[in-house]
Copies of this chain bind each other. A is one copy, B any other.
């Protein structure tokens, strides 16, 4: 960085990214795919370099006393290196969303009007320790015709730069500018502050990480943000639920994985079926080691569990803990979800047609499900091919964000000398 300030350095990245974004937007699918496939090959060819650079980060991390979980996330094992290359190939195989024209129709004036799907421009991604995010995020941005500025965790800097080098080799091989993918090469925290204010050069910020990071970005960013904040997901077991489905879904939604945003955190059960379904579920949860916290009525049925406090209804445990509330009916269930949920993913278990319709219409969450596990809320399960994250925002894109979420639509108007009268 020589004598440049961090601000000047970031500004330079911004100018380069904006310029590169024009090339990215106009690049043909074939060139973008070549870049991705060549980058995948480079990642495999450069496995030794990646391991060496990764070791620098690991050694520094251990010296700094990072905990075992963080060191694990930081590590680029042989398997993860192969996984990165495989990920790039998968993105290359996806259809290119850019340039898709839809809805073209003639208007009474004679002009023809429709939409064309276009890249957002420059995407700034701020993430934490996993270096494989560098490859994943760069691939999705490139395929969707965007330039990106990637700011990873400071503890992964050497690894991220090595991954970026491989991406650069891929871009070069395809005749594209390396500045389409830029990793911020400084651990100075001022770089993030500057990135969040460069509205002239950056069109959208995507933070990926813990709540602390997301909240800082939300409060400081002068640029629109696509973010994932909380995952307080619910399953509501209706009085007309099929017992087997209810048990399967409520167990899977909670115990399939605990530390994920689409795991159920609160179970709602209709009062008239609670006495029948809760004891069966409790057996499963106890066996899986899940701590249950119930409302008063729940504790009347499951007499040996703890009572939930008011705070439990808003809690994202990300752990083997489950809040359970008995509700009067679907009205109270919907009210509870809209009040305490995080608009992420909520599911009803019912055989009743009218109640399934009401639930899908009235629950205001990014994924609303009927008779399915909340764990399905995922870009791969939804067929997006890949995901850059899950949005809990309401504007632009809700739920799993794939290539299309990294694009927008402009109007195109075709005429033959038409003027407005």
Which residues of A come within 8 Å of B, CB atoms?
22, 25-26, 99, 105, 107, 109, 111, 113, 116, 118, 120-121, 203-204, 224, 226, 242, 244-245, 248-249, 251-253, 256, 338, 347, 356, 360-362, 364-373, 375-377, 381-383, 393-396, 398-400, 408-420
CB <8 Å contact, A381 and B111:
yes
Q: 7 pairs across A/B with beta carbons < 8 Å?
A: A111-B381, A224-B395, A368-B413, A369-B415, A375-B420, A377-B413, A382-B413
CB <8 Å contact, A411 and B382:
yes
Cβ contact of A416, chosen from B371, B377, B408, cutoff 8 A: B371
CB <8 Å contact, B414 and A26:
no
CB <8 Å contact, B111 and A394:
no
| Contact A382 to B420, CB < 8 A, known contacts A366-B410, A369-B412 | no
Residues of B with C-beta under 8 A to A373: 415, 418-420
Residues of B with C-beta under 8 A to A111: 372, 376, 381
Cβ contact of A224, chosen from B224, B364, B369, B370, cutoff 8 A: B224
Q: How far is the CB of A289 from chain B (nearest CB, A)?
A: 19
Residues of B with C-beta under 8 A to A121: 364, 394
The chain B residue with its CB closest to the CB of A357 is: B99
| Contact A417 to B249, CB < 8 A, known contacts A360-B116, A400-B411, A412-B368 | yes
CB <8 Å contact, B372 and A414:
yes
The answer for the CA separation of A109 and B113 in the assembled complex, in Å, is 38
Cβ contact of A410, chosen from B248, B365, B396, B414, cutoff 8 A: B365
Q: How far is the CB of A133 from chain B (nearest CB, A)?
A: 22
CB <8 Å contact, A361 and B99:
yes
| Contact A418 to B371, CB < 8 A, known contacts A121-B394, A204-B395 | yes
| Contact A370 to B419, CB < 8 A, known contacts A116-B360, A383-B105 | no
